[in-house]
Amino acid sequence: MGMSSYVLDKEEEHFNKWMEAVDAFCIEKIGLSVHDLDDYSWAEACADGLTPEQAFNDYYEWIFYGEGDN
């Protein structure tokens, strides 16, 4: 496995754990899984360094108020 493959694996692992946290936050706040929500650029939010809570809040503003970044 080359270094780039290792880095990609670590990024994927980080994103998957981050998405699990987003999913748990969504279920806690609105009773829906992140997989039940409209399309949103979760990968971009993760790459931008948003916490799962910040990403959910951005999604919520975007979908309900049209004010989020995505």
Cβ(34)–Cβ(22) below 8 Å = yes
Give the SS3 label for residue 31. coil
* pTM more than 0.85: no
Among 68, 47, 55, 49, which Cα is nearest to 21's? 55
Determine, yes or no, domain membership for 28: yes
For 9-65, write each residue's pLDDT tens digit.
999 999 999 999 999 999 999 999 999 988 889 999 999 999 999 999 999 888 878
Q: How many domains does the chain have?
A: 1
Determine, yes or no, domain membership for 47: yes
Amino acid at position 22, single letter: V
Range(s) of the domain holding residue 9: 3-65
Q: What φ, ψ does residue 4 adopt, rounded to 5°?
A: -65, -35
Determine, yes or no, domain membership for 60: yes
**Nearest-angstrom CA–CA distance, 42 and 39:** 9
Determine, yes or no, domain membership for 38: yes
Determine, yes or no, domain membership for 35: yes
Determine, yes or no, domain membership for 70: no
State both tokens at 14: 């980080």
For 31-42, write each residue's pLDDT tens digit.
999 999 888 899
